[in-house]
Chain A
Amino acid sequence: MEVWLGAFEMIFNPVTLFCIVSGAVMGVILGSIPGLNSTMGTALLIPFTFTMETVNGLALLAAVYCGGTFGGSISAILFNVPGSPEASATGLDGYPMAKRGEAAQALGYAIMCSCIGGLFSVLVMNLVSPFLAKVALSFSQPEYFALAVAALTLIASLGGASLSKAFISGVFGLLVATIGIDPMTSDYRFTFGGKALVGGVDFIPALIGAFAVSEILASAEGREGPTQMVATKVSTKLPRFGEIIRHKWLILRSAVLGTAIGILPGVGATTAAFIGYSEAVRWSKHPEKFGTGIPEGIIGPESANNAAAGGAMVPLLTLGIPGSATTAVIIGGFMVHGLQPGPMLFLNQPKLMFSIFITMYIANVVMLFGGLGVAKLFSLFRKVRYSILGPCIFTFAAVGSFGIRNDMTDLWIMFGFGLVGYIMKKFQYPIAPAIIGLVLGDLTEISLRRGMRIVDYDLVSFLSRPIAASILSLAVLSLIYTIYSILKRNMGAKKNGVGARPVE
């Protein structure tokens, strides 16, 4: 109790509170602009924290991290261009909602669920940090593989009527993820003798291309921008308490999953968002509606990705191991103040550790209000004609793609995926499975190959670890059930004559 009181005393002073508020708002702004993100923001702020008091510096960095994880969803919902990788899954349903004129509700769900997910993970973090860190360290390659496979089973649910097209799209994404240097043998794969593809295909330019550029191309063809389809008056509309209660299990499940995935080193909030989305589909009574613009498609990933941000702080604070790219940068923030995160810090500086917990509570609440403000600002752009907005989106898409690695190849990747996305739309191939495959491709392949090598290529040993076996069994059962439901629905539609058209 004394430690908590001391931590409160450290935080509740004007300067520290100002650092938290400005950090959270700055994080939301950075996250919402494609090409900038919270990792970059924290890295740039570290030198500034050098002259600050330790608690103020760390509070600023933690707040930027919290705000940045949410910020990306604003541009993902409004323009289908995720501001940060963590928001990629949010656009799958957020953007169709915005196109239908429900951007205000979509933003409201994103902000509220990010806040709840973030608060939940901080609560978990300060209650059971050391225990969770130990459990996370017992995860090995087979468990990572099982997690990735479980998330990939989502592909079956995203194909609408055509399962085979969803699978082809998903496998295409997985294949694109193999381009570049093989992380195990350093072999060049599908680089065709050039240097351009050696670094692989980053999924952000691919995503921007597949969703934003393909839409710009379609608009050029039809001269009908999305904003002209529905006259939108956007002002963020937070969901009512009753609506939150109605989705309580979805929010809780996604927050638990997000926190658990965030704790695993190297997995991160992007994977958490897709797994959150995947589980939202799996547990839904109407999985066929996902991708058409429903709140559950926002609640799942947004609760999960912000929970993962808090979760990623657990191994950082308890073991000194970063759980994500941004937490790896935050270690630098500790180091400039002569601190080494880990178990000893809890013993030597308990007040400072608890002040970080309090910071993250406050930052998540500030993010709610900061998010409303930034979303309001971005929403103004929805009123602009698409003939003006389209080129602006393209400029940000180009800068966002280029800014990731400062490499022109990423612009070509963006354009290539724009073409692929356009063709896929025309021939009714779902695009989302390709992006999910691309995001999870590395994790799936590497965990499979490393895991099999560890068990000397004995498949039984690989699959019989209790956690991995349980996750895989659930994933396979759910996949079978999804395929069965889709086939049943298709057969029902055929019997009723729905969807069948004569050939001309």
Chain B
Amino acid sequence: MFKKYCKGEILISLVVFFGCIYLFYETNKFEGLEVYGKMGPSYWPRFLLFLLMLLSVFIAFTTALQVKRGTASSGFQAKFDLPTLRLFTAMALIVFYILGLKIFGFLVLTPFMMIAFMLLLGERNKFWILTISLILPISVIILFTKVMYVPLPRGAGIFLQISQLIY
């Protein structure tokens, strides 16, 4: 179990390390407009990337050492079960919500997102699910768009027309 965790630790260190190498390569593109001599736009990011690489190697090395000595500690184990499925569903829900805001708008999409999220988190009281998911988005719309003049996504096509009825 701990070996699994440590593998995860080492994997993260490797992702950080190789990610840094890629970003280091990206910093070469900053030099084109360099006019300020020694400390151009790439100086600080490169310094930080170098530090990150050093630290990731250090963490990978110490974790490997801990595995060898049998002193590794953790509370995390990777496995695919119902909680993990719920986690991925929550992620998918958030991604769908962000993608959908441009098409469906805040007014139409938010109640559905809230209902789905409440069900996912285990809420079963239909009255509260429906009441909260309708009242909260409308209150937010009134507060943000009517009182504070902060625009919220309206959606496109027919959804834009629906949104325009309120804001």
Contact = CB atoms under 8 A, between A and B. Distances in A.
Interface in A422-461: 423, 426-428, 445, 448-449, 452-453, 457
Contacts of B113: 391, 394-395
Interface in A370-401: 385-388, 390-392, 394-396, 398-399
Interface residues of A, number: 71
A457 B70 contact: no
Nearest to A396: B140
A171 interface: yes
B98 A394 contact: no
A502 B70 contact: yes
B2 A503 contact: yes
B39 interface: yes
Q: Is the interface of B mostly helix, strand, loop or mixed?
A: helix
Nearest to A401: B98
A231 to B, nearest CB: 17
For the complex of A and B, list the 5 residue pairs with the smallest distance between their C-beta atoms, beginning with the closest.
A220-B90, A387-B123, A391-B117, A387-B121, A221-B87
A175 interface: yes
A298 interface: no
A164 interface: yes
Contacts of A40: 148, 150
Given A35-B144, A448-B44, A220 B36 contact: no
Contacts of A219: 121
Contact of B35 (A164, A185, A500): A185
A168 B59 contact: yes
A341 to B, nearest CB: 26
B14 interface: no
B9 A164 contact: no
A503 B72 contact: yes
Given A415-B95, A428-B74, A501-B73, A175 B59 contact: no
Nearest to B52: A171
Interface string B40-68: 11111100110110011011001000110
A385 B70 CA distance: 41
A127 interface: no
22 contacts: A165-B59, A168-B56, A178-B44, A185-B36, A187-B34, A189-B45, A190-B23, A217-B91, A388-B123, A388-B132, A390-B118, A402-B153, A415-B98, A419-B91, A428-B76, A445-B44, A452-B39, A453-B37, A457-B38, A501-B2, A501-B71, A503-B2
A40 B143 CA distance: 13
A223 interface: yes
B136 interface: yes
A426 B9 CA distance: 10
Given A220-B121, A385-B123, A403-B144, A453 B74 contact: no
A174 interface: yes
A406 B128 CA distance: 30
A171 B20 CA distance: 12
Interface in B1-44: 1-3, 6, 8-9, 12, 16, 23, 26-27, 30, 32-44
Contacts of A36: 143-144, 148, 150
Contacts of A391: 113-114, 117-118, 121, 132-133
Interface residues of B, number: 82
Given A388-B118, A395-B114, A408 B87 contact: no
Interface string A162-187: 00110110011011001000101111
A411 interface: yes
A46 to B, nearest CB: 13
A427 B120 contact: no
Given A174-B48, A399-B152, A445-B44, 14 more contacts: A168-B56, A178-B45, A187-B32, A220-B117, A223-B86, A390-B118, A394-B94, A408-B102, A415-B95, A415-B98, A453-B37, A503-B3, A503-B66, A503-B67
A354 B122 CA distance: 57
Contacts of B89: 220
B141 to A, nearest CB: 9
B52 A172 contact: yes
Nearest to B116: A391
Interface of B: 1-3, 6, 8-9, 12, 16, 23, 26-27, 30, 32-45, 48-49, 51-52, 55-56, 58-59, 62, 66-67, 70-76, 83-84, 86-87, 89-91, 94-95, 97-98, 101-102, 106, 110, 113-114, 117-118, 120-123, 128-129, 132-133, 136-137, 140, 143-144, 148-153
A221 B84 CA distance: 6
Interface string A230-242: 0000000000000
Contacts of B26: 190, 192
Contacts of B106: 399
A386 B121 contact: yes
A423 B91 CA distance: 13
A186 B33 contact: yes
Contacts of A502: 70-71
Contacts of B86: 220-221, 223
A223 B39 CA distance: 49
Nearest to B120: A220
A178 B48 contact: yes
A418 interface: yes
Contacts of A501: 2, 71-74
A223 B118 CA distance: 11
B121 A225 contact: yes
A61 interface: no
A319 interface: no
